[in-house]
Amino acid sequence: MLESIKIRTRPVLMTAFATSAGMLPVAMGSAIGLERLAPLGTVAIGGLIVGTFLTLLFIPLIFIWSVRENDAKDMESVK
């Protein structure tokens, strides 16, 4: 599990930062013809940050907790 976290963290962060950087002109309203989409750009960047945080923190935690519960149940059934 820890090895997969080490392997997947960099690509996830690179994708999130590249997409956020690409959306910055839209969010700031400096993209020609896209001034009216500035709120959408802001929401997209915020959602991307939240999604990245959830992907890197909560998904592995939920997996670890579920594996521990299954291991505990397996150990009880062996006794």
Q: Please count the other Cβ atoms lying within 10 Å of the Cβ belonging to residue 23.
A: 19
- This prediction's pTM: 0.70
Domains in the chain, number: 1
The answer, yes or no, to whether residue 21 has pLDDT greater than 80, is yes
* pLDDT for 78: 60
Structural contact between residues 14 and 32, judged by C-beta atoms closer than 8 angstroms: no
Domain residue limits at 34: 2-78
* Per-residue model confidence as pLDDT tens digits over 22-75: 999 888 888 788 888 889 989 999 999 999 998 888 888 888 888 887 776 665
pLDDT, residue 75, reads: 56
Centroid of chain to Cα 41: 17
